[in-house]
Amino acid sequence: MPDLGLFRKARKEEDEKAVVPPSKDKEVSDKTYLKAMPLRELSDLEEIKNEIKKGNVLILRVTPLASKSIEDVKRAVNELYEFAESISGDIARLGEERVVICPPNIRIWRENRQVSNKPLPTAA
């Protein structure tokens, strides 16, 4: 396969410039990871919060907990929402089965929909 230059190796001087100083806060990693995790029990919330505090983005599948208790899912999502707000993070639903939670340095893009002042049509 011909080399298209899409994945070129960094030159030595670029490698030296890209060195990131170690983080002073041991809790926050110098890399951000996107992790997918199932939410099986309410006890999983502490691990989820720790991952967000480390600076990682989590996609949670809530179906395992929902199969046991919808009330627990509501409780868990409310707790995660409050946690995300408390750390200035972000949280959003991804369809019916998933929730994404981001640390403070990452925002979830939301489309601004124009709200019309016209009344909605009704069935006659």
Domain boundaries, the chain: 33-102
pLDDT of amino acid 111: 83
Distance CA 80, CA 98 (A): 13
| Residue 99: closest CA among 82, 75, 77 | 77
When the candidates are 3.30.70.3270, 3.40.640.10, 3.30.110.150, 3.20.20.120, the CATH number that belongs to 33-102 is 3.30.110.150
pLDDT at 124: 54
In sequence order, which residues have a C-beta less than 8 Å from that of residue 26 and are 6 or more positions away?
none
Q: Is the pLDDT of residue 6 over 80?
A: no
Give the residue from 97, 104, 88, 32 showing the smallest Cα distance to 60. Answer: 97
Burial of 39 (0-12, 13-18, 19+ CB in 10 A): buried
| pTM, full prediction | 0.67
Least-confidence region, from 21-25, 58-62, 74-78, 112-116: 21-25
Confidence of residue 46 (pLDDT cuts 50, 70, 90): very high
